[in-house]
Structure 1
Amino acid sequence: MKKLHNHLIGVDQGDVALFADFEDGGPMWTATGPREKRRAVQFSTPFKAPPSVQLSIALLDADTQSAVRLELVAENVTAEGVEIVCRTWLDTRIARMRVSWMAIGSLPHADDWELD
């Protein structure tokens, strides 16, 4: 459990096109085996510490000739941003994907102070 230590809590959210590999023959659409796509997202305002990040699939355009195998994770979460990662494997073919994200965490406050 993440405990928030002040009363100033921020919620930032957005929606990003992670990839559209059908447009240019990219590997998520044309290749097989382990593959991944990454997209860095910067928060609109930095948090006080790395926030909790929730991801959800907003659009998934996948081939139906094989099983859809997909992992969607938030990696490298910092106070300033997050890296959205989509992984697939075997013969799954994904044409395009859009991801919605939401970050919740403490924000810096004017009354915060640090000892040097």
Structure 2
Amino acid sequence: MKLISSNTIGIQSGTFTMFSDFYKVGEMWVGTGPRERHKRVTFKEKFINPPSVTLNISLWDVHNETNFRMKLQAIDITESGFTASFETWDDTRIARMHITWQAIGEAIDPVEIWDV
């Protein structure tokens, strides 16, 4: 369990295209074996500590003649951002993928910032 000791909790969210390999005949669409992609996301505002990050698939366009194999996780989470990591393997064919994310953590309260 992640405990938050601040009374100011920040929530940030967004969406992005992880890849789009169908039109350019990329490795996720025509490749086989282990394949992976990583995408760095930078928060609009920093958190006090690394937040809790959740990733969700909002679009997954896959070939109907292969099994759907994948691993999606947030890695390298810091106060200023995270890396979305996607892995697939064997004969899975993916044309494109969109990801939505949400980060929840201790936020900096602008009222509490003193300029001395």
- TM-score bucket of the superposed structures, by smaller chain: over 0.9
Hey, what does 2:70 align to over in structure 1? 70
Hey, what does 2:58 align to over in structure 1? 58
Q: How many residues align?
A: 112
Q: What aligned pairs does 1:3-82 form with structure 2 within 5 A after superposition? A: 3-82=3-82
| Helix, strand or coil at the partner of 1:14 | strand
| Helix, strand or coil at the partner of 1:29 | helix
Q: Distance in 1 between matches of 2:53 and 2:23?
A: 29
TM-score, normalized by length of structure 1?
Answer: 0.92
TM-score, normalized by length of structure 2?
Answer: 0.92
The Cα offsets for residues 9-42 of structure 1, whole Å up to 9 and x where unpaired, read as 0000001011001121211111100000111111
The Cα offsets for residues 67-92 of structure 1, whole Å up to 9 and x where unpaired, read as 10011100110000011111100000
Hey, what does 2:106 align to over in structure 1? 106
Identical pairs, percent: 40
Aligned-pair RMSD on alpha carbons?
1.3
Instruction: Measure how far apart 1:108 and its partner are.
Output: 2.2
| Helix, strand or coil at the partner of 2:29 | helix
Gaps of 5+ in 2: none
Q: Distance in 2 between matches of 1:5 and 1:111?
A: 17
Structure 1 ranges of 4+ moved more than 6 A: none
Q: Distance in 2 between matches of 1:77 and 1:60?
A: 24
